[in-house]
Structure 1
């Protein structure tokens, strides 16, 4: 009789251990739930002629301390180092183009605005954060990183515009349009950019 009771105790003990392991396993599993909802859907026509694309890679080194006047407060330094890649597209917006055709002279005149930046994208697959440092009294936030990337985007645009990026895009647009209209049979082609 005692051996039967001991067997039952052992079986119950093994069952309790098995149930404990299963419940601990289920409790310790990480549950992640990601929800994504489309807030607004909209289709629109694109009236652009993209003629120039600039690829670049950039590194941002950010460091900030809290200060009282010119004295840095200890334990307030936050910093990060980010490397990212992006591209800038430039070209002509075609919604304000004015076209005049003279069939007797087989000529066409196209008046349009100069090239502008049409798109500036950061490739999110190629954004790397190499160094993050938080301070006790000055926490590093995701917004700090986003704001610095946005500031650098503006600086990159300014730098390439100063180097003639938009002029190159306008000239590429002129060449494209001249070839396009030449292929359509026009002999006298005038491309005029508005000031």
Structure 2
């Protein structure tokens, strides 16, 4: 019987950084991109949803946050008889690993509502979702290895373990309210930066839902 056993995890938030758009808005490039946006809509005097989409077009279609972690786990593969583990049949590996998960929103699914009288733009963000999920193979370190001559552990068993670890981390992250809020906040900051830099929308109050 093959069994993946998880031991106490040491989950570490290594850092939150802006993703696809965050990189674009770094340093001098931020000014360059936002200036292009301002130039492209400077002749427009009325703000509508189409104009907002034009303003945000240089941002691409993803706004993401990246989450880095370090964890510890164990893998066991052994034989059973009548539901009990058979002695001397256990393959066991205890290891640490590092990885990163990116989560964010799809910009094309953001909804905008313009109120010309009140000078407000109401922005409804879609749910945050997992964009990418990876484990760094070069950071995988085994600390305890026990092999049994009676049990053969195959490469496919470790592939199953890898998939289980990634799914486990993704599930944990999507339950992390702080991270979800950070991902939403990153999206809000990016959208606000673009709208406040364009002359046609800079005087509008931006409300997020």
Alignment TM-score > 0.5, same fold? yes
1:170 is aligned to 2:203: no
Change in 2 beyond 3 A, CA 1:96/1:163:
closer
1:190 is aligned to 2:201: no
Change in 2 beyond 3 A, CA 1:139/1:96:
same
- Map of 1:121 onto structure 2: 134
What is the Cα-based RMSD across aligned positions, in Å?
Answer: 2.5
Change in 2 beyond 3 A, CA 1:76/1:103:
same
Alignment gaps of 5+ in structure 1: 1-45
CA distance in 1, matches of 2:133, 2:85: 36
SS of alignment partner, residue 108 of structure 2: helix
CA distance in 1, matches of 2:127, 2:83: 46
Instruction: State the structure with bigger RCO (CA 8 A, min sep 6), 1 or 2.
Output: 2
CA distance in 2, matches of 1:79, 1:143: 15
- Map of 2:194 onto structure 1: 180
What is the number of residues matched between the two proteins?
147
Structure 2-normalised TM-score? 0.60
1:141 is displaced (CA, Å) by 1.8
Q: Report if aligned partners of 2:71, 2:96 keep a CA contact under 8 Å in 1.
A: yes
Q: 1:23-62 to 2 correspondence within 5 Å? A: 47-50=61-64, 52-62=65-75
Of the candidates 165, 170, 183, which is equivalent to residue 157 of structure 1?
A: 170
Q: Deviations over 1:22-43 (max 9, x none)?
A: xxxxxxxxxxxxxxxxxxxxxx
1:87 is displaced (CA, Å) by 0.8
Which one has a bigger Cα radius of gyration?
A: 1
Of the candidates 81, 85, 107, which is equivalent to residue 68 of structure 1?
A: 81
1:159 is displaced (CA, Å) by 2.0
1:92 is displaced (CA, Å) by 1.1
Structure 1-normalised TM-score? 0.63
Alignment gaps of 5+ in structure 2: 1-59
